[in-house]
Chain A
Amino acid sequence: MDRSFVAQNPSVLVFLAILSLFTLGVTILSEGVGIGVISTSFVKTLGKTLCLGLIAVAMDLVWGFTGILSLGHFAFFGLGGYMIGMWLMYERTRLIVVDSLAQAEIPPTSTEVVDAIATQVFGVVGSSEFPLIWAFSHSLTLQLILVVLVPGLLALIFGWLAFRSRVTGVYLSILTQAMTLALALYLFQNDSGLRGNNGLSGLQNLPGVTASQDVVSIWFLWASALALGLGYMLAAWVVSGKFGSVIRGIRDNEARVRFLGYSVEVYKLAVFTLTACIAAVAGALYYPQAGIINPEEMAPIASIYLAVWVAIGGRGRLYGAVIGAAFVSLLSTWFTGGQVPDIPLGFYTIKWVDWWQVLLGVSFVLVTLFAPQGIGGLFDLWTNRHAPQRHGAALGPDESALREKEATE
């Protein structure tokens, strides 16, 4: 254990190098500060993809390394987005309101300003008062703390309840899915205090910033890249030490780790909460780039897609998760954007806008069946990395320590 962290994890350096090259490259090619080859909307897409890469890292940590298939991480992602969105919306509306009230003959009182903001923000849901959950929305610092605190607390409570009663495997997956569904349904109500299905909008306009979106998109690209880099290093550090060995042990055989005297629940809870916070940070960077957030984003299907990205990219290796998220989401944008030429078959024309989902579904089944290592597995061919030959077919990264012979007995 005397080798340094970087020496142990050469992939971290490679990853960071590629990430910085990518960010620099996009900046140079961008409309805002570079030569204008890449349009601003595509810069935003790339920035959002980096955020998705960050939540994929979180998902890989919780699923690929700890073996908890959480189908609820997009709830934390969305909550993070809502938390930052509250401040963005409050502050931007405040500037507009103060501007318009300054025209009046009598200077406004602070209550009048707050009332006017509330009318502006909640007019769409037929209310004109700030609900209690907006109590801190005037302060950027407090909302930034809440970005991590709210999803972290939710994950802590939910995880404590779930792990304490030893809900594992598919039951836990279904339970996390139920949690996301409950949260999404709750937020869909108009009186939830977060504008119901209208969601929060206009988030792309940073209050007090006069720079154009072309430049702001680059700022967010850099911020997203920085967050992804830091998140990646954090995740790599977590899985490299003794802690990492324990959580991998939990993934492979929870009962054995428990019998060795480790408090499995604490480890699981720590990973679950940490990844929820990472997901929330990713969400807080994603939604200002997307411009709008509504409860639809938290539907259970989103979290399942997250699992799909990680599985296609390759579980149990962090760069695999990032590759999977970037690959599938960019491909999905490409296909559903109608940029892929249709294939005329004579009797029928395959329109990719309609058939992309089918292709995704089928390829996902094929990856699960034939390439459980995902895209990341291709790197093994290059580095000549082999699993130890222990006879019997591999059970995939889920229970990588087990061979089929042992597991089915």
Chain B
Amino acid sequence: MLRLYLAGLAILCACLTANAQEAGLQPILGQHREIIAESSRKTIKPAIDAIASSGLPQAQVMLETWAAKDVWMRKSDGLFFAGKKAGGRSYELTDFDTGEVVGTFEKSDLKQLKPNSGIRAMIGTALVQFQLTDPDRARRQAALQSIQRDPEGALLGPLRASIDDEPDADLKAQKQRLERLLTIGHDTDVGARVAAIAEMSDDLGVDVRAALNPLVVTKRQAAVTLPSDKNIAAVLQPDSEDLPRDVAYDLLVASDLAAPRVSADDNRAALAANIDRGRVGGVPVAQLGSAAARAQAYEALAEAGAVPALITQTDIDAALAAHVFFDTYAEPSPDVTAAAAHALERIELKVGLNQTLDLTLDAISLASIYFLAAIGLAITFGVMGVINMAHGEFIMMGAYTGYVVQQFIPDHTLSIIVAIPMAFAVTFAMGVAMERLVIRWLYSRPLETLLATFGISIALQQLAKNTFGTQARPLTAPGWLDGAWVLNDVVSISYIRIAIFVLAMIFLGLFLYIMKRTRLGLEMRAVTQNPRMAGSMGINPGRVNMLTFGLGSGIAGIAGVAIGLFAKVTSDLGSDYIVQSFMTVVVGGVGNIWGALAGAGMIGFLQKGIEWMTPSNTLAAQTYMIIFIIIFIQFRPRGIIALKGRAAGD
């Protein structure tokens, strides 16, 4: 009898499985009809899981249709179909299993499934396993990205299964990496996780740290005795630096292990609530303006039982002594947490080294910007000794020249190539005009040169404002300068900064060539050292001064184009750089191009270094830098590279 029964059961089972295979998705959907129709995020999970794990090829189509809100339920028999509008208020239904059109039905006979965004996200996760093996490469890539965004333990299995069959080498590598990361967080086998952690502990990727960090997250807890079933990171001593008294006590209060303290506000409110004929606890209200009187009144109230008793320091001490405080890992396995902490330590060290490298690159790039801004000044101030407060405005004019050229030449590469000589020409002409009209009358009055050029500076700034308006104008860099040179997740530098560095080096070379190898440079040096002697040797000092000043101004114009590429072009662009430029020249040492280079390097590195130490506060960084420079000048008043002997003048 029993045998017969078992046989019958077996046949029934076989029938059922066969039925499932043959009948396809519809019975599974039928089983979960109620929760599917209900369409609630809280209850839908078993239905989606059943569909996804059915192993049927049409499951993917069904899930996609569902997510697209195109699944309809026929009210007459409760079956689900893919619906398509057939015109009017009728829909054409297609069976998922057979792919055949079942017929056209009125909307009133049907019910549309409208999954909300939460359910669609769950469907999306379920779909990932299909997409991982999808023949379309782009969809596989999208599936990987979806896992990266939202790593989930359930995906580990499908992901592993899909690695071996992956034809694309690049995707395969990505899959393998992702599999390691998922293993770290979600594998059930501790040994596998520790192995994966060890394997990834040389990786600088942000995703590795994102996978490791949750493992070492700790939670501070208090208890009467230390629990033995938890993964404890550390036991803390109350009233120490890690755990101040107040924090420890608040922790006890938060875990319902101690009575809360009465705050000053509560105290006050309690007193106010218990005023009795102008007195509180026997103390007249008018006297409650002092802490001692309030304490006395409160104590009286507490004795009378009207308010909870005050928690005294002794109470706190007793409570703290009666409990233990500890940090626990959310992760239960100590092996995993130890491995993760160790791996993070190694990664932090490497990240630190790379950050130093990144900071150095940043500093070099900042230094080259300062050098570019200051090199023109190194000529006019350093060589000629003329303070040109309008130097910043020459930088601004160069940037605006670049902007104007771009209005006429839309091609960005070509426009920059045209803009550089144009900017030089404009500011050169401006510089020559300024030297002829103003500065040459003031060579023996340096302080007044400062003031006169300041007058020119405010006039030029306002002129630019009147011409171009107050809003920032864009000077767009050519496309090939977009983007950054990425070494790894930590170290990267934008191409535009590399270009500025190259430009700064070109100018250094150009300056050296002009000063040391050309006739003009020779005459310049002669006039600087002794204008009368130079004059008697047949050099026209006026002409040389004019050309020198023009050269310095022209270089400022080119610097303006370079600076305009990464900063917004406004009329006060120049004044942002003028103080820094003077600093660069003064710190470096006047009259020496190497000094300007050293000054720019020092200021650039210093600023980046201070910014690194006070990361959230660039204003403070600038303040400290200027203070440092003021102090630095105490010790080397003539700059880093000081001229010696007769060349030093006075």
For residue B102, which residues in chain A have a CB less than 8 angstroms away from its CB?
none
**Residue A171 CB within 8 A of the other chain:** yes
Chain A 161-176 per-residue mask, 1 if CB under 8 angstroms from chain B, else 0: 1101111011101110
B196-204, B395-403, B444-452: which lies at the A interface? B444-452
User: How big is chain A's contact interface, by range?
Assistant: 35 or more
Asked whether any CB of chain B lies closer than 8 Å to the CB of A111, the reply is yes
Determine the distance from Cα of A135 to Cα of B288 in the docked complex, in whole angstroms. 26
A105 at interface, CB cutoff 8 A: yes
* Mask of B603-627 contacts with A, CB within 8 angstroms, 1/0: 0000000000000010110110011
A177 at interface by CB-CB < 8 Å: yes
Whether A107 lies near B289 (C-beta < 8 A) is yes
User: Across the interface, do B629 and A398 meet the contact criterion of CB distance under 8 Å?
Assistant: no
Q: Report the Cα distance A166→B623, complex, angstroms.
A: 23
Q: Is the CB of B455 within 8 A of A361?
A: yes
CA of A385 to CA of B286, assembled, Å: 75
On whether the beta carbons of B294 and A109 are closer than 8 Å, the reply is: yes
Which of B484-492, B550-558, B578-586 participates in binding chain A?
B578-586
Which of B285, B287, B448, B626 contacts A398 (CB under 8 A)?
A: B448
Is the pair B447, A170 in contact by a Cβ cutoff of 8 Å? yes
- Shortest CB–CB separation between residue B214 and chain A, in angstroms? 30
User: Would you call the interface of chain B mostly helix, strand, loop, or mixed?
Assistant: helix
Which of A22-30, A217-225, A352-360 is near enough to bind chain B?
A352-360
Bound together, the chains give a CA A50 to CA B246 distance in angstroms of 55
The reply to whether the CB of B461 lies closer than 8 angstroms to some CB of chain A is yes
Q: Is A330 an interface residue (CB 8 A)?
A: no
Closest chain-A Cβ to B147's Cβ sits at a distance in Å of 40
Q: Are B586 and A355 in contact (CB under 8 A)?
A: no
For the complex, is B468 an interface residue (Cβ under 8 Å from A)? Answer: no
Give A359's nearest chain B residue, CB to CB.
B459
Shortest distance in angstroms between A132's beta carbon and chain B's nearest beta carbon? Answer: 17
Question: Is there a chain B Cβ closer than 8 Å to A69's Cβ?
Answer: yes
- Given known A-B contacts A104-B272, A107-B288, A396 and B445 have beta carbons under 8 A apart: yes
**Contact count band on B:** 35 or more
B-contacting 9-mer, from A10-18, A227-235, A281-289, A304-312 = A304-312
* CB-contact partner of A308 in B264, B451, B462, under 8 A: B451
- Contact indicator B285/A69 (Cβ below 8 Å): no
The residue in chain B whose Cβ has the minimal distance to the Cβ of A171 is: B586
- Once the chains bind, are B579 and A300 in contact (CB under 8 Å)? yes
For B623, the chain A residues whose CB sits under 8 A away are 182-183, 185-186, 189
Of B1-9, B63-71, B504-512, B630-638, the one contacting chain A is: B630-638
Asked if A249 is an interface residue, CB under 8 A from chain B, the answer is no
Question: A354 vs B463: C-alpha distance in the bound complex, in angstroms?
Answer: 8
Cβ-neighbour of A404 out of B444, B446, B455 (below 8 A): B444
**Does A408 belong to the interface (CB within 8 Å)?**
yes
Please measure, in the bound complex, the distance between the C-alpha atom of A188 and the C-alpha atom of B621, giving whole angstroms. Answer: 12
Asked if B441 is at the interface (CB within 8 A of a chain A CB), the reply is yes
Bound-complex Cα distance A182 to B625 (A): 8
Q: Is the CB of A398 within 8 A of B447?
A: yes
Looking at the complex, which of A137-145, A199-207, A268-276, A365-373 is the stretch in contact with chain B? Answer: A365-373
Complex contact B579–A107 (CB within 8 A): no
Listed residue (B286, B459, B466) with the most chain A CB atoms within 10 angstroms of its CB: B459
Judge if A133 is at the interface, Cβ distance under 8 Å.
Answer: no
Q: How far is the CA of A345 from the CA of B463 in the complex (A)?
A: 17
CB closest residue in chain A, given B267: A106
Cross-chain contact of A358 among B459, B575, B619 (Cβ < 8 A):
B459
A158 to B623, CA, bound (A): 15
- In chain B, positions 545-587 with a C-beta closer than 8 Å to chain A are 575, 579, 582-583, 586
B630 touches A354 (CB 8 A): no
A362 to B617 Cα, complex, angstroms: 39
What is the 8 Å Cβ interface bit string for chain A, positions 89-129, against chain B (1 contact, 0 not)? 00000000000000011111111100000000000000000
B192 in the interface (beta carbon within 8 A): no
Name the A residues within 8 Å of B450 (CB-CB): 69, 170, 173
| Among B446, B451, B627, B635, residue most surrounded by chain A Cβ atoms (within 10 Å) | B451
Question: How far is the CB of A58 from the nearest CB of chain B, in Å?
Answer: 17
Q: Give Cα A277 to B289, complex, Å.
A: 41
Name the A residues within 8 Å of B285 (CB-CB): 105-107
CB of A38 within 8 Å of the partner chain = no
B268: CB under 8 A from chain A? Answer: yes
Query: Closest residue of chain A to B455, judged by CB?
Result: A364
Q: Establish whether residues A365 and B626, one from each chain, have CB atoms under 8 Å apart when the complex forms.
A: no
**Docked-complex contact A362 and B445, CB < 8 angstroms:** no
Q: Knowing A167-B637, A307-B451 touch, does A369 contact B462 (C-beta < 8 A)? A: no
For A181, the chain B residues whose CB sits under 8 A away are 579, 622, 626
In the complex, what's the smallest C-beta–C-beta distance from A98 to chain B, in angstroms?
A: 11
Among the interface residues B445, B446, B455, B459, which one has the most CB atoms of the partner chain A within 10 A? B455
Q: Does B184 contact A (CB under 8 A)?
A: no
Q: Are A106 and B272 in contact (CB under 8 A)?
A: yes
User: In the complex, which of the residues A171, A175, A185, A357 contacts B458, with contact meaning CB atoms closer than 8 Å?
Assistant: A357
Do A179 and B620 have beta carbons less than 8 Å apart?
A: no
* Chain B residues whose CB sits within 8 angstroms of the CB of A357 once the complex forms: 458-459, 461-462
- Shortest CB distance B445–A (Å): 6
Chain B residues positioned under 8 Å from A186 (CB to CB)? 619-620, 623
**CB <8 Å contact, A169 and B444:** no
B223 contact set on A, CB distance < 8 A:
none
Chain B's closest residue to A158 (CB) is B630
What chain A residues lie within 8 Å of B582 (beta carbons)? 174, 177
Decide if A297 is an interface residue (CB 8 Å cutoff): no
Contact B290 A177 (CB under 8 A): no
B51 within 8 A of A: no
**Docked pose: A162 CA to B452 CA in angstroms:** 25
A340-396 residues at the B interface, CB under 8 angstroms: 354-358, 360-365, 368-369, 372, 395-396
The 4 closest A-B pairs by CB, nearest first: A361-B459, A364-B455, A357-B462, A182-B626
Q: Which residues of B pack against A, CB within 8 Å?
A: 264, 268, 271-272, 275, 280, 285-291, 294, 387, 389, 438, 441-442, 444-448, 450-452, 454-463, 465-466, 575, 579, 582-583, 586, 617, 619-620, 622-623, 626-627, 629-631, 633-635, 637
